[in-house]
Amino acid sequence: MSIDAIYSAFERAAEQPLESAKAWKQTHGTRVVGSFPMHFPGELAHAAGCLPVILQENHEPITVGHGMIYPFYCGFTRSVVDQACKGDYDFLDAIMFGDHCVQVLGAADVVRAKLPNTRVHFYQLISSMSDPWSLGRARETFLNLKEGLEEMIGHPIDEEATHASIRLFNKNRQLLRKLYDLRRAGDARITAKQMQILVKSSMVMDKAAHNDLLGRLLAEIEKTKAISQRGMRVYLSGHFCQSPKIGVLDMIEECGGIVVDDDLYHGQRYISTDVDETGDPLDALAKWYLERNLKVPCPTRVDQNADWENYLLDAMERSRADGMIVLMAKFCEPHMYYYPEIKEAFEKRGVPHLLIETEHELNSFEGLRTRVETFLEVVKRQSAARRIAA
């Protein structure tokens, strides 16, 4: 199987996630459980014999859902509501919601009203991550999640099945991180679009099938000598719930940027942390929930031990990035509140960065192209000046 054929298989699932999940359900007869980003462990749904699918923003214009949710909500929540109103989620057996922003709360209410025959579960995940009771509260939430899934399937979830799912999901994260390592080191040419497709398809595909394709891709990449790339090394940050538009990613690279790393949800944020494969699985998942905020800090969580702006500065240094592009979804309140601290820290350190605000209705990239070209030229000149000074 060629590299192009493997990427095509990933892309079909990433670009048509609901159709992919429907086909899997029809072929294998398994239940499909949808979930909101960013913090639910798909391992429990998988251990229950279900296909866990993270709901995605689609490319369709928002029509039916316009009258159901505020226009100043982010594109992701408006898109999810629109899909629910159009009946796109009718095949789902359950949907899991969390409470990481007020817009998700509004979306959950609409989806619950529009899908009266679908189990719509809402779970409150503790947002204070470094208090003495944080671990216990996280475990309690995941126990409630487990009990909700057991009620749906009609029998208890076997502990060994949960351990097996944890091992399977860990392997998936490890394979994806290996691809990140190869790209960061320059040992593999993986575009920003390709990397997003790899991670996004993992969110919607059966993990065993995804692992098989990842193994084949790594084997093919290792046979191929990496082509030397010329351009400015770019770090991407932001976009917590939805994937960045492919057109934006392509434009950054067309302008001369080489994306070498990121903290995107459809990227490092999703695959950063493995779950302990020993002991009580609920304890392990609760610990995973807290630890992943230290691996890649999230502004929807409050943690005295995590510092997003310094994490980004350190991550840029590790990846040898020349500049950072911040992708902020329009109306994303957690990102909007935190961004001034990032801006101040980067300006104080003299590290170039560019803020790009994106929205669901974004169709023209020409204005953005000029800004990105200008930014990369500034980065190029600053890099040259530092080399001369050294």
Answer yes or no: is pLDDT of 387 > 80. no
Answer yes or no: is pLDDT of 99 > 80. no
> Mean pLDDT in the chain?
93
- Cβ-contact 295, 349 below 8 angstroms: no
Mean per-residue pLDDT, 261-270: 97
Answer yes or no: is pLDDT of 121 > 90. no
Q: Could you tell me the pLDDT band of residue 294, with boundaries at 50, 70 and 90?
A: very high
Residue 84: half-sphere exposure toward Cβ, Cα within 13 Å: 28
Alpha helices in 48-93 (DSSP H): 75-85
The predicted-structure confidence for 128-160, as pLDDT tens digits, reads as follows 999 999 999 999 999 999 999 999 999 999 999
Distance CA 34, CA 36 (A): 7
pLDDT of residue 208: 98
Look up residue 337 and give its two tokens.
């509140």
Answer yes or no: is pLDDT of 93 > 70. yes
Q: State whether residue 71 is helix, strand or coil.
A: coil
pLDDT of residue 27: 96
The predicted-structure confidence for 217-227, as pLDDT tens digits, reads as follows 999 998 887 77
Distance CA 339, CA 130 (A): 22
Answer yes or no: is pLDDT of 68 > 80. yes
C-alpha distances out from residue 137 to 5, 212, 236, 287, Å: 44, 36, 32, 11
Distance CA 248, CA 251 (A): 5
Answer yes or no: is pLDDT of 341 > 90. yes
* Dihedrals phi, psi of 363, to nearest 5 degrees: -120, -30
pLDDT of residue 383: 80
Torsion sign, CA atoms 298, 299, 300, 301: positive
Mean per-residue pLDDT, 101-118: 90
Q: How far apart are the first and last CA of the chain?
A: 47
Answer yes or no: is pLDDT of 33 > 90. yes
Q: Could you tell me the pLDDT band of residue 390, with boundaries at 50, 70 and 90?
A: low
Mean per-residue pLDDT, 356-378: 89
pLDDT of residue 18: 97
**What DSSP line would sit under 116-143, residue for residue?**
TTSEEEE-----B-SSTTHHHHHHHHHH
- Cβ-contact 253, 39 below 8 angstroms: no
Distance CA 44, CA 265 (A): 20
Mean per-residue pLDDT, 118-125: 88
Please report the domains of the chain, with CATH numbers, ordered by start residue: 3-160 (3.40.50.11890)
pLDDT of residue 225: 72
Residue 232: half-sphere exposure toward Cβ, Cα within 13 Å: 27
Q: Are strands 232-238 and 353-358 parallel, antiparallel or unpaired?
A: unpaired
pTM: 0.95
C-alpha distances out from residue 197 to 9, 40, 245, Å: 10, 20, 11
- Cβ-contact 288, 42 below 8 angstroms: no
Answer yes or no: is pLDDT of 212 > 80. yes
